[in-house]
Structures are given as structure tokens and as C-alpha cells.
Structure 1
Amino acid sequence: MPTAIEETVELPKLSNDEIARYSRHLILPEVGMEGQQKLKAAKVLCVGTGGLGAPLALYLAAAGVGTIGLVDFDTVDASNLQRQIIHSTATVGKLKVDSAEIMLKGLNPTVKVIKHNTMLTSANALEILKDYDVIADGTDNFQTRYLVNDACVLLNKPNAYGSIFRFEGQASVFGTKEGPCYRCLYPEPPPPGLVPSCAEGGVLGILPGLVGVIQATETIKLILGIGEPLIGRLLLVDALGMSFRTLKLRKNPECPVCGPNPTVTELIDYDQFCGITPPSEVGPLEVARDKAVTDLPVVDGIPQISVQELKRKLDAKEDVFVLDVREPHEYKIVNLGAPLIPVGEIALRTAELADKKDSEIVVHCKSGARSQRAALALKQAGFTNVSNLTGGILAWADKIDPSLPKY
């Protein structure tokens, strides 16, 4: 198995302090002095400093990886702290790359941290990735996963991949010459909205710790050239059952990126490829991306109504019917007193709204994404006056009633 650090590179020496710090590595024959020097020489790029990137970067720094790059343009939000252990209450509101650097330097002052405070795009990905030995993908959306994958294949960089949702995760190593890539596993992205984000579906806070540490382990194995990396294998993690399964993956001979006759030879528009509208705001990214569908007054034929306008209508006693389309457990956290029909049940329960066919209906969820889908379903079912509440109950708590909890 080839190591990520070329044997011809002159390896940096270890100081006496470093020898003391890494002594438990040095007495492992599989690591030893030379292995620790390889770690010191290595450059690893962590794409994302969130749930996966947090434990990943921390353990890489602790292990003595000499250069750690961080790609993120988000800011720390209090809702991150349930799982993103590289950040702290004291750094809420700071750029995530700055917050992460504080923790990494506190853990290991010798590590060099390179901060890329930017959104990874087709325009900058190749330039950012080219100087690193291993890329560790800790992103939470499909468009960036395809972007990272394609850039790794084009640059011949191994991709230590991980992803999580609710209580389940997966990990693999993509982008090597001998193994498959992410597109071999997922040739096409899922339809937009089919897979909820963690902000919509939730995630057990400990789960990204499990998967992020697996990514860190794979990264270190790649650098040292030891063990059997997850090349050609997909590791499935079930935290509730505490079970681990491994599936074999084969290189797809028809793969448009890593196959023998590639048709994707440069980076493409990944938002368009995944059918995603780019976020209309920036930072905190999770809040901004999931809060509003867009700033436009009408999206896919559905009017977008602000929380201020809904408040005005309600205060004026206008005939407006508000419908909550979140899940029952979310309703228990906070609600506006509106009737509840979860978005997944809308199509089956339109009869309950038969007397509202021609009424003005304002649909809301947590952030505005699910309610947009619900509004489209109601429109398809013949409801003539349906609007989506921009920003959902989060925006209501922000701008109308700050006494409400935000989750």
C-alpha cells in the first residue's frame, strides 16, 4: 500500500520535546521514529470543521500531523456544540476556522494550521487541495461530497470519507488509483429534499465522534503506509445497535470520473448537478442554509411570506390558516399553537383540510425547507392559496418572539 509521503522526501527531525510527546507512537514498531517523522511531514486537509471535522482534526493534531488545513466559512453557533467538540461556548460567533485553530494549537502548539475561510467551490478546489497529501471529507451535503471526490480523483489524492445521519454513519477511502471513488458508490445524487439535513433530521452528538475518529485512523494509516485502509470497502456504523458492517466496493468501469474513459475531466457546477439552490445567506451556515429557501417572493409557484407579514395578518385578524408540518417531537419543543400535520403525511391527510381549499394557508416548519415541500404538495392537491413561511419557527423566534426556544 503506497504511503502518502514520498520516500524520497527528506523527513523532518524530531526535537527532544516531540520525542517525549510522541513516545507511545515511537515504541510501536509499525510507527517508530520514521513513522512519526512522516506524520510531521504530512499535510492533511480537513474539509469542514463540524461534527466530523472536529474529532478528525483534533486527533490528527494529537498524533503529530505537521500541517492541518481547515476549509470552512461557517461561524460557530450554540447548536453546534452538542457534537462539534473542537469549538466551545467561548467561541460562539467566531469563524469556525479561527475557533478550531485555538483548540488545535492548545492541544499541540507545534502543528501548523492553514485556514481556508472560504466555501469550497469548483473555482478554488483544485488550488486548495493540490498541496495536501490526504484529503479528509467531513462535509454534510452532496454537492460538496461530489466536488471533493472529483477534485481528489483529478489530483490523485486519497479521500478519507465519512458521513453521518441520525444514528448511522459510513466511512471509506476513495480516490486512490486501485480503488473506487464516491461516484462508483453513488453515481447520481438523490433528488433534492429526499435526504434531510442533520438540522432537519437530527444526529446523535456522539456519532460524528465515532466516524470522525475512523477517518482520522484511515488518514494516519495512509500517511504511514500501514494496515489495510478502507479502499474498496464501505464501513457502516449503527450506533443504536453498536454494530459495524463492511461492504465490498468495486471500481465502476463506467465511472465518468475514475473509469478508464472519463467524461468528467474538470470540475463542474455541483449545485446544478445535485439540483440545489445555493444558500441565499452566509453564516452561521447551518442556520442560514436551512432557514430560508431564498429571498425571492415566489419559489416554484409558492409565495414566500415573512414572519413579520404573518404577524401583521394575525394581528389584523385576517382569515389566515397556519399549518405546522414538523414532527410531533419537534412540536413538543416549541410551537405557535398551529395544527400539526407532518410533511410526510400531507398527501394522505389533505381531507382534514378540505374546508381550507380556498382559504389562505401559511405553512411553516423549523426553517422553511420542509414547509416549501409541503406547500407544493398542497398546491398539487388543489389548494389555491398556499404560502411558505420564510425561515420557519426559527425566524419567528428571532424576529417576533425572542422568548421562544430555538433548537
Structure 2
Amino acid sequence: MTNSKRYSRQIILPEVGKMGQQKLLNARVLVIGAGGLGCPVLQNLASAGVGNIGIVDGDVVDETNLHRQLLYSLKDCGNSKAETAKKVILELNPEINVTAFSEFFTAKNATQIVDGYQIIVDCTDAIAVRYLINDISVAKSIPMVYASIHKFEGQVSVFNYENGPSYRCLFPEQEGLKAVPNCADSGVLGVLPNTIGTFQATEVLKIILEIGTVLSGKLLIYDALNFQTQIISFAKNPKAIEKGIINGRLLPNGKKSVEDLTPEGFLEKCNQLGIVVIDVRELDETPEFKGENVIRIPLSMLEDYRKKLNKNQEIVLFCQTGQRSLAAMNYLQKSGFVGVFHLGKGIESLKNQLQ
């Protein structure tokens, strides 16, 4: 621990102590959105000594942000939110490590950005991005600390925590969700996101420290205008979880997938008991690859044949060059199959082994 004096009032708490403070220092937290919610989350996490913080935001500071986004000042207008937030919280606590991603969180970069982080904090105001955050976090078993604000009301919950309910369990995806208004459309009381963001930061610290009762399976609703709170419980929906996992696993990662087998990995799996190996080439294509567990189901017939397969069965697919087997793998994963692999470069990569 680098500076016990800085955290002394926190360390004296029996629930924290020096070991807890070390947990905070070792933690890796990704904050998506450096706006109204992100600002108080970042300030509180940095002050508490969370040692590794990622900030994702492709926006720039605007004067309309300043009444609620307290990390920024007038001189910051026009500058990157992520870079500016990084600079400010490092001034607040120079002992921590901060990484700024000056880009919006999308399906193309999600996998690379979340890599290595233990907790994701959803500080966005876009419904589609929330589903994306949920899907990547549930696929990678990373807790998602959620919040949203509207006028005088805020909501907080924790999803995907210790195999608990997901965002999709509480908010099933529906048509028209993109039309839900954000702050720019309907307004927000300036203090509200700072209150709700502090609630989020509290949940993050509890998760890291493994203390208290985490808001998993519970939605906290805060009405600032009437100073009322209520907590609503909600249940886990296995189908919603499955959909999130499938979507998360299908996200591009910019690198070779672990599901793309090398020739050696393919042959090793072919020799394992209980694995179904499917050749998705047409019946007249060569070279032929034989084995006790190898069956030939042309890609055009896979949709009908999948009804005979167990979704929990480990399946290995191959074709001539890897393109059709990749399509088959994506199709089966979208259909709920969880253990699907394919020969990345196809049967042509096995020429030496087949001679």
C-alpha cells in the first residue's frame, strides 16, 4: 500500500482494513460514460483508492454539461471527456492508474475494451449501449453496475453478479426502446446524477470489498422531488441470460477466436469421446475425413439437423477453407448451442496430416 494516511479513515473500518484497501488498490473497474453519472463514479472510485480505472467516452465537454458534470469546467469545453476526466482524477489521486478510451462503446470495440476489467459501471444514457454492456458482461461473467436518470428520478441495480439476474431479465428488449428520452430531450436536475452516481460507486466498492448486500436482483428507485426510495425485487430469466451470453460471445474481438481451432487442436478434439464432429461440406467434396464421431451434414441441411443435437453437446465443425464452418458455428451459437468450435482454416490446413 503506497499511502496509508490518505485512506486512514477508511482503513479503520473493520469491514475494510488494510486488506480491504489492498483489494481496492488491485481492482480494475471500467466506467463506460464520463457524463452526469460517470463524473461522480470516477471521483468516488479514485478517492477511495481503486487502483485501476478505465474511462470510455467518445464525446467532448459541452457547456450544457457543466451544471451536473462536476469534473469539468468552462475551459474544458471542446476537449475529450475521457482524457479530461483522466487528467482531473489523476490530480485528485496520482497514486492510481487510469486508462482513457476516447471512443464510443460499440460492438466492434467492446471485447477489446473490457478485457482485463473486473467490474463494468454503466454510466450511459443509450438503451442500445446498455444491452451491449449487459451482453459482453454476462458473456464474460463480469458484474455490471447500472444506473439511469430521468428528470427527478434515478434507478440503480447490479446485474450479472455471482450468477444473478441480468439487465435483460429486468428490461426485455423491445421495439421502440431507442425512443426512450435522455437528459438532452427531457432535462435533469443537476444534483440527481451526482446522487445516483454515488450510489453506483458504493455498489462498486461493496463488490470489491465483498461486504454488505449488493443490489443484485433488486432495483433501487430514488425520487428526488419527494425524497422517496423504494426497492423492487426481480427474478432471473434463464432465456434472457442465454440471449445475452450468445450475443456477447458473437461480438468481434479483433483477434483469433478461441473457438477457431488449429489443425492440432482440431485433431485432438476429434480423438475425444463424446464430441460430435460435423463436416458441413457438400457430399461430393474431397478430401474425405473419416472418424467414428464424424458425420457429414451439408450447411444447407444444418437447420433441420440441429433439432437432433443437444445444445449442451460439444460440437466441432469443419469445411474446406473455414468459411462455411464459421457460418455454421455462428448459426448454432445464435440458436443457443454453447460448446461449438470450428477448424479455423478448414480441411485444407490438414493436408500434411492427411497424407
Same fold (TM > 0.5): yes
State percent identity of aligned pairs. Answer: 46
Work out whether 1:60 is the aligned partner of 2:45: yes
State the distance in 2 between where 1:249 and 1:140 align.
22
Q: Which residue of 2 aligns with 1:266?
A: 249
State the distance in 2 between where 1:267 and 1:206 align.
39
The AA in structure 1 aligned to 2:62 is D
- Distance verdict in 2 for CA 1:256–1:37, change over 3 Å: closer
Whether the 8 Å CA contact 1:150–1:267 is kept in 2: the answer is no
Q: Which residue of 1 aligns with 2:70?
A: 85
The AA in structure 2 aligned to 1:153 is V
State the distance in 2 between where 1:265 and 1:44 align.
19
Q: Which residue of 1 aligns with 2:233?
A: 248
State the distance in 2 between where 1:234 and 1:193 align.
21
Q: Which residue of 2 aligns with 1:112?
A: 97
Q: Which residue of 1 aligns with 2:183?
A: 198
Work out whether 1:211 is the aligned partner of 2:181: no
State the distance in 2 between where 1:59 and 1:244 align.
22
Q: Which residue of 1 aligns with 2:35?
A: 50
Per-residue deviation at 1:263?
5.0
Match of 1:223 among 208, 218, 226: 208
State the distance in 1 between where 2:164 and 2:241 align.
15
Whether the 8 Å CA contact 1:256–1:264 is kept in 2: the answer is no
The AA in structure 1 aligned to 2:203 is E
Whether the 8 Å CA contact 2:136–2:248 is kept in 1: the answer is no
In the TM superposition, what are the counterparts of 1:352-391 in structure 2 within 5 Å?
none
What RMSD in Å do the two structures reach over aligned CA positions?
A: 1.7
Whether the 8 Å CA contact 2:24–2:208 is kept in 1: the answer is yes
In the TM superposition, what are the counterparts of 1:161-200 in structure 2 within 5 Å?
161-189=146-174, 191=176, 194-200=179-185
In the TM superposition, what are the counterparts of 1:227-242 in structure 2 within 5 Å?
227-242=212-227
Whether the 8 Å CA contact 2:107–2:132 is kept in 1: the answer is yes
State the distance in 2 between where 1:192 and 1:43 align.
31
Whether the 8 Å CA contact 1:122–1:267 is kept in 2: the answer is no
State the distance in 1 between where 2:212 and 2:119 align.
16
Per-residue deviation at 1:111?
1.4
- Distance verdict in 2 for CA 1:24–1:142, change over 3 Å: same
Match of 2:79 among 78, 84, 94: 94
Match of 1:76 among 61, 77, 101: 61
Work out whether 1:134 is the aligned partner of 2:110: no
- Distance verdict in 2 for CA 1:193–1:215, change over 3 Å: closer
Q: Tell me the number of residue pairs that the alignment of Structure 1 and Structure 2 aligns.
A: 252
Whether the 8 Å CA contact 2:148–2:155 is kept in 1: the answer is yes
Whether the 8 Å CA contact 1:180–1:258 is kept in 2: the answer is no
The AA in structure 1 aligned to 2:152 is F
With normalisation by structure 1, the TM-score equals 0.60
State the distance in 2 between where 1:61 and 1:235 align.
24
State the distance in 1 between where 2:246 and 2:117 align.
25
State the distance in 2 between where 1:97 and 1:116 align.
6
- For structure 1, the 5+ residue unaligned runs are 1-13, 270-407
Report the more deviating stretch, 119-128 or 154-163.
119-128
Per-residue deviation at 1:119?
1.4
State the distance in 1 between where 2:105 and 2:50 align.
22
Q: Which residue of 2 aligns with 1:401?
A: none
- For structure 2, the 5+ residue unaligned runs are 253-355
State the distance in 2 between where 1:138 and 1:190 align.
22
With normalisation by structure 2, the TM-score equals 0.68
